[in-house]
Structure 1
Amino acid sequence: MVATSQPLAAQAGLDILKRGGNAIDAAIATAAALTVVEPTSNGIGGDAFALVWTKGQLHGLNSSGPAPQKMTIDAIKERGYDKIPSHGLIPVTVPGAPAAWAELSRKFGRLPLTEVLKPAIEYAENGYPLSPTLAKFWDRAFKNFKQNLTGEEFHTWFETFAPKGRAPKAGEIWSSRNHAKTLQEIADTGAESFYRGKIAEQIADFSERCNGFISKEDLAGYQAEWVKPIKVHYRGYDVWEIPPNGQGLVALLGLNIAKGFDFAEKETVDTYHKQIEAMKLAYTDGKAFITDPSDMKVTVETLLSEEYGASRRSEIGEEAITPNPYQPPKGGTVYLAAADGEGNMVSFIQSNYMGFGSGIVVPGTGIALQNRGYDFSLDPVHPNALRPGKKTYHTIIPGFLTKGGQAVGPFGVMGGYMQPQGHMQVIMNTIDFGLNPQAALDAPRWQWIEGKKVQVEPHFPNHIAQALARKGHQIEVAVDSGGFGRGQIIWRDPETGVLMGGTEPRTDGSIASW
């Protein structure tokens, strides 16, 4: 089974399973296809993280890239900025996604990468029709870029993604032969060309020409990193995330606080109030502490301890509280889950950030570069202060659920700072309220924004929204569900081995199974 946000990508992963590949091969195929069939959310020039269950063990892969060596606080301030810009070459960090595909294939894959990337290459070469949600986000990005990205360095983005001078429409065919050519070279070289060959030279030469920071040396020095997943025990289950620099810790902090409460029913004011308050406290801690592990001032073990969870829980009363506020930026990410008949399961996420990323496409390659450097602080005493070679606080997080040392399965909810909030809500829907995977994803969502401000979806129960307002929450009903994340779930029944999948109704989500 493969579950993701785009039907053609889910089918690409299933095709690889039918050709004899395992769940890891399927995940790579799906991820590569998503760079083609959902470029509004991810690309070859983005980052990736994965949780892989195989032979009774869970493995974590951090394939996020660091700041280039020339990217310093002083260098950015010398260019007249007091905050890192969101677009252009300045916020571009080393892309990790191609390294993730190659490393997953090397360590756990069964089929050669040249076979696994074939579906993605074919869609890039021959084209595909846009699905409705994809077309909506593509048009939104085009209008924003057309108005704001006017420099010469952005021309290739418009040539690539708006070849007719506008965004392609739903049902219209779009292709990118340069994208296909780059994917083929990644497949042929096991991503070596991207980091230490021809593609690396193209990226570095364009960066230098346009006064960017990323260099051949930055790319050549990059390796994806295997990490030990972190967990919290929640009502008989273990919920797993990738450790910092990712924000998966926030989801675990929220669950660690919430597990001290009894939630008798889902649709009650008390349930929503306590969930929101727990997440506020979790995010306040996350923003205060999460960064590159080498710079963290407090350990994950301390933050996830029973004592710390209890102390934070004691701060929750009957009224909404105001933690230290911050303003979360918008996200742009894809999430996928894959499982095979041998018991292998993969939770995989990749992103360019803020939709299309930096607005930069490297000429002749189809590579849209990410803008993760935007999240660094230029305040040298800030925990996430910029320094060369450092990995920033990262929004994209894959999740995994186990029980009694056995895999239940992968889950994820993409969408910027909604992600840990979505993880918490989906896990509580599953464990506390007994919802099946589809119902767990369909349920109305809330999102804490800052202070006492909480957004709810248009179909969120109105009487509960009003009661939350009476508790001091500043409730804002969103005009649509676009900012509430897009999730996927695959659970395996421990007795029968049967897979149960749920896919996101807020996008063009699809489950392909065989």
Structure 2
Amino acid sequence: MHFDHLYNPYSAQRHTTFGKKGMVATSQPLAAQAGLDILKKGGNAIDAAIATAAALTVVEPTSNGIGGDAFALVWVNGELHGLNGSGPAPKGISIEKLRDRGVEKMPTHGVIPVTVPGVPAAWAALSERFGRLPLEEVLKPAITLAEEGFPISPILGKFWNIAYEKFKKQLTTPEFAEWFKTFAPDGKVPAVGDLWSSKAHAETLRAIGSTNAESFYRGELAEKIASFMKEHNGYLTYEDLMDYKVEWVKPISTNYRGYDVWEIPPNGQGMVALMALNIARGFDFPVKDDVITYHKQIEAMKLAFTDGKTFITDSEYMEVDVDELLSEEYAVRRRELIGEKAIEPESYVPPKGGTVYLAAADGEGNMISFIQSNYMGFGSGIVIPDTGIALQNRGHDFSLDPEHPNSLKPGKKTYHTIIPGFLTKNGEAIGPFGVMGGYMQPQGHVQVVMNTVDFLLNPQSTLDAPRWQWMEGKAVLVEPNFPNHIVQALARKGHQIQVATDCSSFGRGQIIWRDPQTGVLMGGTESRTDGAIAVW
């Protein structure tokens, strides 16, 4: 990839960032700086990513936490490695037990949708296999932020307040009391510019660092989690935590116009992005802002998503082979359905999501694409007393229909929305990319790849470009700054277009590309949030 083809200084709202020795891109400036601090202390890109991820649990609790899940794509010594740090349903939960309790649909909040958290184990596994500094050292910047406090940034403050207003009406039973004590002390949320701290969060990070996460899964923290869940009739037990291990997986990919696009295999939804790109590569896209371009992108996406929701679940339970879904024969069959007008496939209504994404690179060529989430904002609303651990609600995505591919089973992993992406060409790393935000994520991945490969946009322009989001059926949501003439033309093709009032549901992305010849790093960060790039 030649940077001169990608860099137009007048095409972005903000200029693309360049560096050489290291770069960290994420949604919070303080978290990006935490990663850069670790790089300057002698850590590598993987150490920087862990430091940034830990800091994000402190400075962006509206989207992730210690009690969430994580995935990573890691480029080291010319090879790409995949890490699945998602956790399964507790062994003691089942559809029958929930129905006996009168539960007909997996709830959004509370103890029932809590699955085994994978974040601490993911940090420890990455540190042990690829890190250069001790995990205890790598977590120090995050510990300092939690202990000393930090000022609330604008987008963070907005979503914190939205969650509080919703939670104070809906989460009124005793198991949610600690959430309000932690995130709304004295009955109010911190305003933009206010300082917020959590000594308990700092102590938990310190325990994770000093024990390489053993305390969380087989020690004092595990005991506190299990005790709380038992007290409030939850299903997550000490044994569930003790038995958990992350999975090192072989990344899956497709070749899109000479570039290999990499994703984590199921249970993640990254395959949806690859399926959509496979369908799209059969078309020519000579112009970006053209109704035919958007029409075919949207149609490819809706077909891929419909199939993804039909088939993707824990890989051990999938009824269709991944290779078949990524085959050219399958792409041709689906591509043939795309005509001049919008079609309506078997549809579903995607919920909103809450996730953080980061990309990191060092001067030695190591790169990492990392994503972690509590899901749907603050997650389950469950915070373990005196720990700062906010637990995810990833089990909400399980179906209670025994015939559904993603049906709830003890020890099973659910369909997972969070996906890191990575781009290579001719066996050399181009770099990590990601767009967080629930079911927007594979749609964001497709738009990032096409903006880069088809339309030669630099990273910042790629992220700043107006986005669309397929919702269900023929319904498509577009950003407020989406070209109006394209909106009208898409409507004439049968798409049911709705213009959003803000950009909050269109994902938040980060990109770092590396020139294989010079080692120069080129990054873009998200204009839809408090995004920042720390560079060296």
The reply on whether 1:499 has 2:521 as its aligned counterpart is: yes
Task: Give the unaligned 5+ runs of structure 1.
Answer: none
Tell me the distance in 2 between the aligned counterparts of 1:211 and 1:81: 13
The counterpart of 1:220, out of the listed 242, 247, 256, is 242
**Count, aligned residues:** 514
Q: Aligned AA for 1:184? A: R
Structure 2 counterpart of 1:252: 274
Deviation of 1:232 after TM superposition, in Å, equals: 0.3
The reply on whether 1:208 has 2:255 as its aligned counterpart is: no
Deviation of 1:494 after TM superposition, in Å, equals: 2.1
Q: Aligned AA for 1:267? A: D
The reply on whether 1:299 has 2:321 as its aligned counterpart is: yes
Structure 2 counterpart of 1:136: 158
The counterpart of 2:145, out of the listed 102, 107, 123, is 123
Tell me the distance in 2 between the aligned counterparts of 1:162 and 1:216: 29
- Secondary structure of the residue that 1:164 maps to in structure 2? helix
The counterpart of 1:322, out of the listed 333, 336, 344, is 344
Structure 2 counterpart of 1:265: 287
Structure 2 counterpart of 1:16: 38
The counterpart of 1:171, out of the listed 181, 188, 193, is 193
Deviation of 1:450 after TM superposition, in Å, equals: 0.2
Structure 1 counterpart of 2:296: 274
The reply on whether 1:73 has 2:95 as its aligned counterpart is: yes
Q: What TM-score comes out, normalization by structure 1 length?
A: 1.00
Deviations 1:479-512 (A, max 9, x none): 1000000000000012221100000000000000
Q: How does 1:12-51 map to 2 (within 5 A)?
A: 12-51=34-73
Deviation of 1:164 after TM superposition, in Å, equals: 2.6
Q: How does 1:426-465 map to 2 (within 5 A)?
A: 426-465=448-487
Tell me the distance in 2 between the aligned counterparts of 1:322 and 1:471: 12
Q: How does 1:145-160 map to 2 (within 5 A)?
A: 145-160=167-182
The reply on whether 1:183 has 2:205 as its aligned counterpart is: yes
Deviation of 1:319 after TM superposition, in Å, equals: 0.2
Q: What TM-score comes out, normalization by structure 2 length?
A: 0.96
The counterpart of 1:334, out of the listed 350, 356, 365, is 356
Cα RMSD of the aligned pairs, angstroms, is 0.4
Q: Aligned AA for 2:412? A: K
Deviation of 1:81 after TM superposition, in Å, equals: 1.2
Task: Give the unaligned 5+ runs of structure 2.
Answer: 1-22
Tell me the distance in 2 between the aligned counterparts of 1:13 and 1:494: 23
- Secondary structure of the residue that 2:185 maps to in structure 1? coil
Q: Aligned AA for 1:224? A: V
Structure 1 counterpart of 2:380: 358
The counterpart of 2:184, out of the listed 159, 162, 176, is 162
Structure 1 counterpart of 2:136: 114
Structure 2 counterpart of 1:372: 394
Q: How does 1:395-474 map to 2 (within 5 A)?
A: 395-474=417-496
Tell me the distance in 1 between the aligned counterparts of 2:528 and 2:187: 28
Deviations 1:454-503 (A, max 9, x none): 00000000000000000000000001000000000000012221100000
Deviations 1:12-32 (A, max 9, x none): 000000000000000000000
Tell me the distance in 2 between the aligned counterparts of 1:212 and 1:313: 45
The reply on whether 1:57 has 2:105 as its aligned counterpart is: no
Tell me the distance in 2 between the aligned counterparts of 1:188 and 1:388: 31
- Secondary structure of the residue that 2:203 maps to in structure 1? helix
- Secondary structure of the residue that 2:123 maps to in structure 1? helix
